[in-house]
């Protein structure tokens, strides 16, 4: 088992990661009857995508003796209705300003991010725009 989730009422859940004990709270978004005071479940999908890309790129970068500390990823979720779902995710990956990469290294890192496990787990109808800076 990976996690346990407890519904707290008022459209809020608390998830506990079993290996570490860390907690994540979710809230329904304000455009869907919630308060929007925490990440929504769909926010977490997009956040999982961004962190998975950064993590897999960092693993590959370590193998290449490249330090990616300072890499940032901005992610934007676009929802659609009927059925309510994530229709599009915009991702902007920014390498640290101090990092100088050869074109081949940049391509390897980009391909690594674009093939992370979360990317491979998303529905093929979802539009995924990834931009590297």
Contacts of 38-41 with C-beta under 8 Å, sequence gap 24+, read 38/12
pLDDT given for residue 1 in this prediction: 86
Query: Which tens digits make up the pLDDT trace of 8-35?
Result: 999 999 999 999 999 999 999 998 898 9
The first and second tokens of residue 50, run together, are 């961004």
**Are the CB atoms for 98 and 114 separated by under 8 Å?**
no
The first and second tokens of residue 103, run together, are 């074109």
Nearest to 116 by CA among 66, 73, 67: 73
DSSP code, position 22: -
pLDDT given for residue 78 in this prediction: 96
Query: Which tens digits make up the pLDDT trace of 74-130?
Result: 999 999 998 999 999 999 999 999 999 999 999 999 999 999 999 999 999 999 999
DSSP assignment of 68-104: -TT-EEEEEEEEETTTTEEEEEEEEEE--TT----HH
Does 57 score more than 90 pLDDT?
yes
Does 133 score more than 90 pLDDT?
no
* pTM score, whole prediction: 0.92
pLDDT given for residue 52 in this prediction: 98
Residue position matching structure tokens 């931009």: 131
> How far is it, in rounded angstroms, from Cα 12 to Cα 108?
40
Residue 102, φ and ψ in degrees, nearest 5: -75, 155
């Amino acid at each position: 088992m990976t996690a346990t989730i407890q519904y707290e009422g008022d459209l809020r859940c608390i998830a506990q990661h079993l290996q570490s004990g860390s907690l994540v709270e979710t809230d329904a978004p304000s455009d869907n009857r919630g308060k929007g005071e925490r990440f929504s479940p769909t926010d977490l999908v997009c956040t999982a995508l961004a962190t998975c890309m950064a993590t897999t790129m960092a693993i590959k970068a370590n193998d290449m003796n490249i330090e990616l500390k300072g890499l940032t990823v901005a992610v934007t979720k676009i929802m659609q209705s009927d059925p309510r779902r994530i229709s599009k995710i915009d991702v902007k990956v920014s390498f640290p300003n101090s990092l100088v990469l050869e074109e081949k290294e940049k391509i390897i890192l980009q391909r690594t991010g674009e093939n992370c496990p979360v990317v491979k787990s998303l529905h093929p109808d979802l539009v995924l725009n990834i931009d590297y800076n």
